[in-house]
Amino acid sequence: MLADRRSKEYEMGVEEFLRIALANAIDHGHIRCPCQKCGNTRKFTIRVIREHMYFNGFDQTYKVWIWHAKPIEINASEIVNQEPQPERDFFGETVDMCEGAHEHFTKNPEDFKKFMEEAEKPLYLGCQKHTKLSGLVKLYNLKARHGMTDNCFADMLIEVGDLLPIGQELSLSMYEAKKTLNALGLK
């Protein structure tokens, strides 16, 4: 998607992107527009998105297509599928949570992008089952289900964090956890 927008290569990349996005869309009438101007914050028809991609260009910061497909890397001027990866149970769940968070960030799309990058980090290096966000939400569901106090939950975060490998991404303080959960609309 770095190719000249007038080139055949760019045209083929746009059409391949639209094919993948449409094949994985929940609502085939309107999908998120990945152009530089919209940055995946607005939904349009395929026809409008095609125009935006030619007029505005593709948002080069959008590397993992969380809104349009299973994770696919965009490499230089072509679209390349990654090696097959094990199916991740958390993927759809995390996307749903992040779509809820989108409303929280409508006034500042840059903050939303940062939130998404953080949310999609694996819980620890090599983790295929949970992201930073899905792990936190699972633990918070335990808190709610069993009526844990905030102090108990904060202690649990620290203990679970100690059990995970070095470099883990779990929020280890009640403040961090609440900040993340508030962004999801979970007061």
Helix (H) or strand (E) holding 38: none
The predicted structure's pLDDT at residue 107: 67
Give every CB contact of residue 107 below 8 A, 6+ residues apart in sequence.
none
Helices (H) and strands (E) in the chain, counts: 7, 4
3-state secondary structure of 105: coil
The secondary structure of 158-185 as a DSSP string is: HHHHHHSPTT-----SHHHHHHHHHHTT
The predicted structure's pLDDT at residue 88: 39
Tens of pLDDT, residues 19-33 = 888 888 877 788 888
Residue with tokens 């309107």: 30
The CA dihedral of 86, 91, 93, 95, to the nearest 10 degrees, is -170
Residue with tokens 């097959």: 84
The predicted structure's pLDDT at residue 70: 52
Tens of pLDDT, residues 163-179 = 999 888 888 888 888 88
Beta strands in 27-118 (DSSP E): 31-32, 43-44, 73-75, 78-80
The predicted structure's pLDDT at residue 77: 42
Give this prediction's pTM.
0.45
The predicted structure's pLDDT at residue 89: 41
Cα separation, 121 vs 3, in Å, equals 29
The predicted structure's pLDDT at residue 103: 59
The predicted structure's pLDDT at residue 63: 73
The predicted structure's pLDDT at residue 73: 44
Please list the ranges in the chain whose pLDDT falls under 50: 71-94
Is 143 in contact with 153 (CB distance < 8 Å)? yes
